[in-house]
Amino acid sequence: MASDRRRALGAAGEALAAEHLIAAGLRIVARNWRTREGEIDLVAEEDAPDWSEGGALRTWRVLVEVRTRRGREYGTALQSVTPRKAAQLRRMAETYVQAVNWRGPWRIDVVAIQLEPSGLLHAIDHVRHAVTG
């Protein structure tokens, strides 16, 4: 029962995150992409400067971790991205990039969905390049 509620909360958070990303100009290309290490919640694309290429406009593949929290009893949604979780996200991203043979720039973003204890939306934070190196 508790896992059903948790799954429903996660699915609702992913839907809100996808809407937010689309409104910000990103294109969703996959949802719930599975690896042995876990699942990439959303895969998107965004046309943005690639500063390693002198700022040339390139299509970025954006691997998105969605974190949804109701209330702050166990910390905020952003605080839930621990160093251990960040390491897992890096492994999953590397697996994805190799599996789809992506040759362009890519990054790992986090979309944090913070809900009030009542379930009302408090904030959506999109952190670009949230997990690096």
The 3-state secondary structure of 94-123, one letter per residue: HHHHHHCCCCCCEEEEEEEEEECCCCCEEE
Q: How confident is the model at residue 4 (pLDDT cuts 50, 70, 90)?
A: confident
CB burial of residue 73 (10 Å; 0-12, 13-18, 19+): exposed
Return the number of other C-beta atoms located less than 10 Å from residue 115's C-beta: 20
Q: What is the pLDDT of residue 1?
A: 59
State the residue range of the domain holding 65: 2-131
pLDDT at 64 over 90: yes
Q: What is the pLDDT of residue 16?
A: 95
Instruction: Read off the pTM.
Output: 0.92
Quote the number of domains for the chain: 1
The CATH number linked to 108 is 3.40.1350.10
Residues 26 and 46: their CA atoms lie apart, in Å, by 5
* Tens-digit pLDDT profile for residues 74-121: 788 888 899 999 999 999 999 999 999 999 999 999 999 999 888 889
Q: What is the pLDDT of residue 131?
A: 94
